[in-house]
Amino acid sequence: MGSLDSNTHEDHTSTTPFKPLDPEEFRSQAHQVVDFIADYYKNIETYPVLSQVQPGYLHTRIPQTAPHHPEPLHAILRDIETHIVPGMTHWLSPSFFAYFPATVSTAGFLGEMLCSCFNIVGFNWLASPAATELEMIVMDWLANMLKLPTTFLFSGSGGGVIQNTTTDAVLVTLIAARDRILESIGANYMSKLVVYGSDQTHSMFTKACKVAGIDPRNIRLIPTTIDTGFSLSPFSLSKVIEADVAAGLVPLYLCATIGTTSTTAVDPIQPLADVAARYGMWVHVDAAYGGSACICPEFRHYFHGIEGVDSLSFSPHKWLLSYLDCCCLWVKNRDLLVKALSNNPEYLRNQPSESNSVVDFKDWQVGTGRKFKSIRLWLILRSHGTANLQAHIRSDIQMAKMFEGLVRSDPRFEIVVRRRFALVCFRLNPDKCSGPEYTNLTNRKLLEWVNSTGRVYMTHTVVGGLYILRFVVGATLTEERHVVAAWKLVKEGADALLKSK
């Protein structure tokens, strides 16, 4: 935008050109917004955690068309406070214990500001060398923190790349696996390809497989049981694969999980990879949640056997203080990924790419454009250091342990599944005089009661027919006192429910 323009902010000042990025106006307005945000973080405990609005609430509060003329920042910020904040579920509230929390940090925010600032579209090396090279370095840093085998590093045959979400990580590796096998057996075998996970694998897996054209009838979600902590049994996997092979199908891809969404179950990587190896399958490890914990030596054993898999991903936006979205993917054989996903239109051709001396990350992902996300991770790792990041993981787990202890101290409750990370799966004890459905209903009512207070937000799951309350410690601002208050509230709800009965 430049000086040719005669349209203006206000009709009566028609000589001022429209300058959407005046550095001094930027400075002044961005400072205002920084204060708005710092105040939001300061006051976040005063808001109901789960929004209490009804569907369609915003429709009547906002005009039906965009304004023709500019509106001032203070009016917009006022509207955010009046109309948007009440309709938000406050994910950063210290009393948010739902889903898996999305963790943040000052360093992550600053990194995101810098990422936006430069607004680099780093599809290939030349489009901004620093973006690509910093990503390679930071992904190697993280790989070292996780003690990944060197084959997953750029110095080996592999490398790491930042994707948006786990779905993208699964999708791109699935396509690399799919194209590798179709190249050898022929495209006509597409409908014969079979993929494997467990009934605890995240729902994104099925979706990614459908997107990639895998016949929905060939997606195997192998049942797990409470006896084995809902982890995938290598024996069951082996049986299912054998039956598929006998039926003339072709085993393609296994998605194992470290820290499932429902209960943070951990699939045993090494024996599963051994089974998959017998059939030449691609093994991906989805460690979206659990991976962050593996930067601590005492949790690294969950990665045991990782050298036998083809790819793994974890999401720092879940538990490593990054803002959304950031999913780190490593592959052992980068050539397979590039072969499946590269394209080379004339308008992007350039000498460094053609000399094969550089990495072009557009060939490691589905989309073309990409942000400078590595700068955010770089800030997080440098501002905190591995020591504090490990401490952060341990502190969350310590608080979850404390909550677990509180639950155990009340005989009306039970812990349903063994706690591994910072998720506690619990429920009101079954009423021996009533059936399991009644127990499920009672727990559902308890959750509704707790969430309706707006004082905490927790979610549920159902596994093995049991309705379970999930309590995840992980929101960045959570302290011991919030966990204690949450437990008091749960007890209060139980008192009210059991008394009314």
257, 198 Cβ separation under 8 angstroms:
yes
In b/e form, how buried is each residue of 228-261, taking b as 16+ CB within 10 angstroms? Answer: ebbbbbbebbbebbeebeeeebbbbbbbbbbbbb
Output DSSP code: residue 50. Answer: S
Strand segments (E) across 141-192: 159-163
204, 166 Cβ separation under 8 angstroms:
yes
238, 220 Cβ separation under 8 angstroms:
no
Residues in contact with a second copy, counted by CB under 8 A, come to a total of: 178
Strand segments (E) across 237-302: 250-257, 282-286
Shortest distance, position 264 Cβ to a second copy, whole Å: 12
Does 266 contact a second copy by CB under 8 A?
no
From 106-114, 244-252, 410-418, 489-497, give the range in contact with a second copy by CB under 8 A: 106-114
- Out of 173, 257, 261, 442, the only residue in the binding site for a second copy (CB under 8 A) is 261
Q: Please identify, using beta-carbon distances, which residue of 30 and 496 lies nearer to a second copy.
A: 30
Can you read off the two tokens belonging to residue 312? 């793994």
Shortest distance, position 76 Cβ to a second copy, whole Å: 5
Spatial distance between the Cα atoms of 390 and 382, rounded to a whole number of angstroms: 13
From 168-176, 236-244, 250-258, 273-281, give the range in contact with a second copy by CB under 8 A: 168-176
Shortest distance, position 83 Cβ to a second copy, whole Å: 8
From 225-233, 246-254, 362-370, 431-439, give the range in contact with a second copy by CB under 8 A: 362-370
331, 310 Cβ separation under 8 angstroms:
yes
- Out of 161, 173, 202, 427, the only residue in the binding site for a second copy (CB under 8 A) is 202
| Site track 124-143 with a second copy (rule: CB under 8 A), x = hit | -xxxxxxx-xx--x--xxx-
From 110-118, 222-230, 234-242, 271-279, give the range in contact with a second copy by CB under 8 A: 110-118
Q: Please identify, using beta-carbon distances, which residue of 66 and 433 lies nearer to a second copy.
A: 66
Task: Report the amino acid identity of residue 129.
Answer: P
Q: Please identify, using beta-carbon distances, which residue of 118 and 235 lies nearer to a second copy.
A: 118
Shortest distance, position 428 Cβ to a second copy, whole Å: 18
From 249-257, 265-273, 394-402, 486-494, give the range in contact with a second copy by CB under 8 A: 394-402
- Out of 82, 144, 228, 434, the only residue in the binding site for a second copy (CB under 8 A) is 144
Spatial distance between the Cα atoms of 461 and 444, rounded to a whole number of angstroms: 10
Shortest distance, position 432 Cβ to a second copy, whole Å: 25
From 37-45, 224-232, 301-309, 328-336, give the range in contact with a second copy by CB under 8 A: 37-45
- Region 479-498 residues binding a second copy, contact defined as CB under 8 A: 479-483
- Region 204-233 residues binding a second copy, contact defined as CB under 8 A: 204, 206-208, 210-217
Does 35 contact a second copy by CB under 8 A?
yes
Does 114 contact a second copy by CB under 8 A?
yes
Does 459 contact a second copy by CB under 8 A?
yes
The full length of the chain comes to: 501
From 121-129, 412-420, 428-436, 485-493, give the range in contact with a second copy by CB under 8 A: 121-129
Tokens 């997606």 belong to residue: 219
Half-sphere exposure of 459 (CA within 13 A, CB side): 17
Shortest distance, position 407 Cβ to a second copy, whole Å: 18
Can you read off the two tokens belonging to residue 359? 């990495």
Conformation bin of residue 200: beta by default, left when phi > 0, alpha when psi is -120 to 50: alpha
| Site track 316-335 with a second copy (rule: CB under 8 A), x = hit | -x---x-xxx----------
Does 4 contact a second copy by CB under 8 A?
yes
459-463 and 219-222: which strand pairing?
unpaired
Q: Please identify, using beta-carbon distances, which residue of 116 and 434 lies nearer to a second copy.
A: 116
Q: Which of 145, 30, 159, 164 is nearest to 384 (CA)?
A: 145
Q: Which of 304, 358, 300 is nearest to 154 (CA)?
A: 358
Integer-rounded Cα radius of gyration of the chain: 25
Q: What angle do CA 266, 158, 209 make, to 5 degrees?
A: 55
Q: Please identify, using beta-carbon distances, which residue of 248 and 411 lies nearer to a second copy.
A: 248
Does 455 contact a second copy by CB under 8 A?
no
From 81-89, 247-255, 410-418, 429-437, give the range in contact with a second copy by CB under 8 A: 81-89
Q: Please identify, using beta-carbon distances, which residue of 233 and 390 lies nearer to a second copy.
A: 390
Tokens 């399958």 belong to residue: 281
Does 398 contact a second copy by CB under 8 A?
yes
- 163 φ/ψ angles, rounded to the nearest 5 degrees: -105, 170
From 170-178, 266-274, 434-442, 485-493, give the range in contact with a second copy by CB under 8 A: 170-178
Residue 22 makes CB contacts below 8 A (sequence gap 6+) with none
Q: What angle do CA 206, 209, 214 make, to 5 degrees?
A: 125
Output DSSP code: residue 487. Answer: H
Q: Please identify, using beta-carbon distances, which residue of 128 and 238 lies nearer to a second copy.
A: 128
Spatial distance between the Cα atoms of 360 and 133, rounded to a whole number of angstroms: 10
Does 244 contact a second copy by CB under 8 A?
no
Shortest distance, position 108 Cβ to a second copy, whole Å: 8
Does 67 contact a second copy by CB under 8 A?
yes
Half-sphere exposure of 153 (CA within 13 A, CB side): 15
Q: Please identify, using beta-carbon distances, which residue of 239 and 382 lies nearer to a second copy.
A: 382
